[in-house]
Each structure stands twice: as C-alpha cells, then as structure tokens.
Chain A
Amino acid sequence: MNKTQKVIILDEPGKKELIVDFGKEGEEVEVLGLVLADKPGDYYMKIVVDHHVGKTFGRVMVRGVASNGARIQVEGMIKIDKEANGVDDFLEMRLLLLDSKSQAVAEPKLEIEANEVKASHAATVGKIDEEELFYLTSRGIDRTKSEELIVGGFLDQVLSRMDDQVLATKYGKGKIE
C-alpha cells in the first residue's frame, strides 16, 4: 500500500504551509489540517496538492475554529497537470466562528489540465448550529458545555482519522466519552 497521511496543525498565530507532490502512480495521500485559533492574530494555512502524475488519490480535510478575535485564512489548492489522468481528489474545509470578533477567509482552488479526473472541493464557514445547541441544552446540558461538545465533535471529524494517537488525544478536548 502506498497510502500515507500528512497532518498540519496551526495553533498559534502565524503561517504554515504544506505541499504534497504526487510523483508516482498509485500513490494515495490523506491530508488532515487543523486550525485552532483562540488568540487574537492571523492564522494562515496553505495546502497545495500537486498531481504531476495520473492515477493518484488525494483527500484533504481541514477543520478550523476561531474565537477571541482570531483571523483564520485557509488556502487550499488542487493542481492536476496535463496527462495526469485518473486522478481523484477532494478538498474539504469547514471553519467555525465562535464569536463576533473572529473572522475567516476560505479559498479552495482548483487548477485542472487533464480531463479523465475527479476533482472537487467544498467549503463552509459559519457559527455553531442553533438546532444542535438547542438539542443539547434541552437535555439539561448548559450552554458552555454544549458548545464545547459541538466544537469537540466538529474537530473530531479530523482527529478521529489521525493515525498518530498521541497527537489526536493531545488536541482532542471535549470529546464525548
């Protein structure tokens, strides 16, 4: 198996970049990104997935949470070169804004030059779902705890996929036991 996993975590204001170069057919890469922004400042994450050859498989999953006046910017790019047929890639980024002081910029990009490919991306930015919150508070859980649980579950979508258990537990706070 040629499957590898790459993890990129940004938990301090600053810049982080990850470039994945596919050079061999049959390669499979999963990229997991986390932006944990709870301090004022700029958090910039850039992920480029470059398919130089065909029959390569990629999945990029980014989850970000901003609070306390943090500004998140996530730029994701899937590039598929000419002749790189048979590529399958999906870029997904979801960002959560916890308070009105925080901001987010999501830029999911695609540059596709081959035609026998599947490439797509999805991005969402928003706040905690009121209905989820209502459900939990109606069960007697207070608002702060409910929010914690929802954020925990949101981040768990990435954390639960991590091969590195130590890392996953380190960032996996507020998990439902």
Chain B
Amino acid sequence: MSRFAKIVKLDQDAVKSLSESYQLGHHDDFVYAYKSERGLSAQMVADLSLRKNEPDWMRDLRIRAFSLYEMMPMPNFGGDLGQINWEEIYYYLAPTKNESKTWAEVPDAIKKTFDKIGVPEAEKEMLAGVKAQYDSEVIYGSLRKSLSKKGVVFLGMDEGLKQYPELVKEYFSKIVPLADNKLAALNSAVWSGGSFIYVPKNVDVELPLQAYFRINSENAGQFERTLIIADEGSKVHYVEGCSAPAYSSGSLHAAVVEIIVKKGAKVQYTTVQNWYKNVYNLVTKRAYVEEEGEMRWIDGNLGSRLTMKYPACVLAGRKARGETLSIAMAGSGQHQDAGAKMIHLAPETTSQIISKSISKNGGRATYRGMVKINKGAKGAKSKVVCDALILDEKSRSDTYPMNMIFENEVSLEHEATVSKVGEDQLFYLMSRGLPEHEAEAMIVNGFLEPIMKQIPLEYAVEMNRLVEMEMEGSVG
C-alpha cells in the first residue's frame, strides 16, 4: 500500500551546496578506467610514465621533477596552503583509454556533463577546435580541416608528445623549469593532459582554439600541462575555461602553461576560471616573447577556494610586448591571490597590466604583481593599473606590487585604487526604478567593462552571467 508519501531525507551537505546556487555543481557517477593510488611516490611517477608509454627522457624528467618537488619548500606567500591534504590526492585518473575523435564516440555520462556546461554549444558557435578535458585525459577533440591543412597542430599534450616528440623535447620545461617552484615541480612529475599547440610560420588562426577543463572525481588532482608554440609571424588565440562540480573536501589544480612567442608572433590566452569553491588553484603560467612578439593574458578568476596565479611574460626580444588583463572575484570563503609578472630583458619592450578585483561576503582579493626592468632594457615602458571594489565590511582587498628597475632610460607607472560602489551611482540607478542588487550588479559589470570587451563574445556573456549570479544576494 502506498498510502503514505515516501519519506524524503535531505542530506545536510546537499542542502548547503544547493544554497550556494552553483549551477555546475553536479556529480556524474563514472567508472574510471584507471585510478592511481592516493598520494605520491617515485615509483608511482615511474609507473605513470610507463603506463603512458612515454620516451625515456620524459620519464627521467618526471623522476627528477619529483625529487625536486620533495626537496622544495612550499610557497611562503599568498594564501593558506596548510589545509591541503597531499596524501589524500589521486595524482592520476584516466576515464577512457583513448582519445575520442568524434562526438558520437564520447561516453554518455561524460556527454551529459559537457551538455550541462555547454561544450557542444561552443562548438556549434564555430570555434576552431574543441578539446575537453575530463579529469586527466583529453577525451574529446575535433579540429577543423582547414586548420589541419595549414599545418596547425592542436592535440592533447600526451598525444602531442607521441606525435611530435622532438618539438616537445625542445620546449618542454624550458620556459617553466622543473625547479621553478614546488607546484611546477609537482606538475612536471605527474602532469597529464592539457593542450599542445603548434602554429607554423605566418599562419593566422582566425578562430579561437578552445579547451574546457573539468575536475570530476573527488580529490582528483588536475595537473594539466599546456605548451603553445607560435612560430614567426603567426597568430593564435587560445581559450581555456574551468568549472568543477561540488565536493566536500578540497581538490587541487596545479597546472603549468608554457608559451613560446617567436619573432613577430601574436598569442592571446584567455582563461575563465570557475572552479567550485573548494578547489585549490595553484597555477604557473609563463610566456617567452621574442622580438616584436606580442603576448596577451586574459585571466578571469571567479571560482576556487584559493587561487594563486600570476601569468608572466618574459620579454626577451627587442620591441616585445606583454599584456595581462585580470579579473578576480572573491566571495564567501574565497581568496583570489592573482596578478601578473612582466620581465623586461630587451630594449623598447612594453608591458601593461590591468587588474580589477571585487571582494564581497568576506572574500579576500589580492593583487600580487611584479614588473622587472633589467639592465640594458633601454626605452622599456610599463604601466600597471589595479582597481579594487570592496562590497561589504566583511571583505578584504590587498595590493602587493613590486617594481624593480635596473635601467634608467625607462618609464614605469603604477596606480591602484580601492573603493566601494559609489552611493551616488547606486542612487541614480535606483531612482530609475532598478532594485538595489540589480543596480549594484550593473555597476560591477561596468567596473569590469574595460576587460570584458577584450574577451571573445561568448565568454564575455558567460562572465557577465557569472558575475550577476555571484552578485545575487550579496547586498546586505
């Protein structure tokens, strides 16, 4: 007899995560083809390399990186890393064994996840190629034929290593050395997945290349490794987006991105980071820019519990240019420690950093940046602007810039402001009939506008939506 309604018991944690109104906070049950032991050892690193059938030099590199990782100290700046339980992390997960070539071959469970975050839509939007990373392996990829004809390579990093071992060997870990920092060493030891891109001389990749990363398994460490080589006079735009489902214990994302911008080449790298609020996002991103090359980082940090990310440009050739546009939004329990680094090594190099941060509901947004103009970089110019908005009295905003100038024929400008949403602006909008939170969201979007308009349209729309979502219920 079913006279009684079913007893529904609500899990306390589930209720809590619902209230966070995180749209992407779902969890698909999925059978992993291979899941390594928790924690890490030299043996595990060697096994991982063996399983992936890698050349000897890569295995040696991994083992060297692992011993460096064990020796090096944790970063002593930025956020609190004490909460990470390193022993509890799975360092390697492979959901399916091979990379799928067409959408039809992708397993249904994974498809569902991507449907929710809109990857196929992105492809319909005629993006040049879509690579989606589900946990540690690239499982879905397509590259438009016209690009292949031009000789553009867009592969998963593992696949890139198999098909272009010489190219990978020449550049891998040259921009971010193994001993750069502890987390870069960790990534070098256990990296898996990521993108490998090669753009031949004078080829202009007109449409952005896109990859969507996603952590699925609880405690999954994501150590993707991306290498982009833009040969002389070429042009490419790479877009990376992140989202992760809801989980209770902290996940770790420690990526390394290396970019080589050869003479006269132009590279733009756009990131929209929306990890769930328990993810530690500790990323090393660096570009090496040769003569008259241009590198541009666009960095949006909305999610994660702690982000420590400072995209860098080493301006090594005459007239090289580096640019970083950064948005950070820190809500309840979040610490966004983001910024940029510009290292001027050659004459007439120019750089610009624009950083906009918003902290609310007890969040903490930190700008940490460095501009270094070395001896001999005559005529170098750099401009840094960081603006911060604090939306309530519980939140915090910091600015830690470092400007090191070792050459006198240079110009460096730095400015920063911290303020709240202007009462008069708010009053104006509300007098036009807008409710307070809408008015505030509008002002915040206006504050971010100078960066938003640099982002490809569909990402700008997504960012705007995310900002509005984050703003809901933030006005006390």
Listed in ascending order, the chain A residues whose CB lies under 8 Å from chain B are 82-83, 85, 95, 97-100, 102-127
Q: Which residues of B contact A106 (CB under 8 A)?
A: 403, 405, 412, 414
Q: Given the complex of chains A and B, what is the CA–CA distance between A96 and B397 in angstroms?
A: 29
Q: Which of B388, B407, B410, B415 contacts A122 (CB 8 A)?
A: B415
B399 touches which of A109, A114, A127 (Cβ 8 Å):
A109
Binary per-residue interface labels of chain B (202-240) against chain A in the complex, 1 for a CB within 8 Å, 0 otherwise: 000000000000000000000000000000000000000
- B408 beta carbon closer than 8 Å to chain A: yes
Contacts of B400 in A (CB 8 A): 107, 109
- Which of B396, B398, B409, B418 sits near A127, CB closer than 8 Å? B409
Q: Which residues of B contact A108 (CB under 8 A)?
A: 399, 401, 414, 416
Contact B418 A124 (CB under 8 A): no
Contact A123 B403 (CB under 8 A): yes
What are 12 A-B pairs at a CB distance below 8 A? A104-B405, A106-B414, A108-B416, A110-B388, A110-B397, A112-B396, A120-B416, A121-B415, A122-B414, A124-B414, A126-B408, A127-B409
Assess whether B419 is in contact with A117, with CB atoms less than 8 Å apart.
yes
Q: Check if B454 is an interface residue, CB within 8 A of chain A.
A: no
Instruction: Report if A114-B393 is in contact (Cβ < 8 Å); known contacts: A122-B415, A126-B410.
Output: yes
Kindly state the separation between the CA atoms of A123 and B401 in the bound complex, as whole angstroms. Answer: 10
CB distance from B60 to the nearest CB of A (A): 39
Of chain A, the residue at the smallest CB distance from B373 is A125
In the bound complex, CA of A112 to CA of B411 (Å): 28
- B80 to chain A minimum Cβ distance, whole angstroms, is 16
> How far does the alpha carbon of A114 sit from the alpha carbon of B414 in the complex, in Å?
23
Given A112-B418, A118-B419, A120-B417, answer yes or no on A107-B403 (Cβ-Cβ < 8 Å). Answer: yes
Q: How far is the CA of A125 from the CA of B410 in the complex (A)?
A: 8
A98 to B405, CA, bound (A): 12
Expressed in whole angstroms, the Cα–Cα distance for A107 and B367 within the complex equals 12
Q: Which chain B residue has the least Cβ–Cβ distance from A130?
A: B409
Query: Which residues in B have some Cβ–Cβ distance to A below 8 Å?
Result: 375, 388, 390-393, 395-420
- Which A residues touch B412, using CB under 8 A? 106, 123-126
Cβ-closest chain A residue relative to B391: A115
CA distance A124 to B410 in the complex (A): 10
Beta-carbon contact of B405 and A103 below 8 Å: yes
Which partner residue on chain A sits nearest B396 by CB separation?
A113
Contacts of A116 in B (CB 8 A): 393, 420
Look across to chain B and name the residue whose beta carbon is closest to the beta carbon of A66.
Answer: B408
Inter-subunit contact B403/A115 (CB<8 Å): no
CA of A123 to CA of B404, assembled, Å: 12
Best-surrounded residue of A83, A97, A114 (most CB of chain B within 10 A): A114
For A102, A112, A118, A119, which residue has the most chain B Cβ atoms within 10 angstroms? A112
Q: Could you say which residues of chain A place their CB within 8 Å of the CB of B390?
A: 112, 114-115, 117
| Minimal beta-carbon separation of A36 from chain B (angstroms) | 16
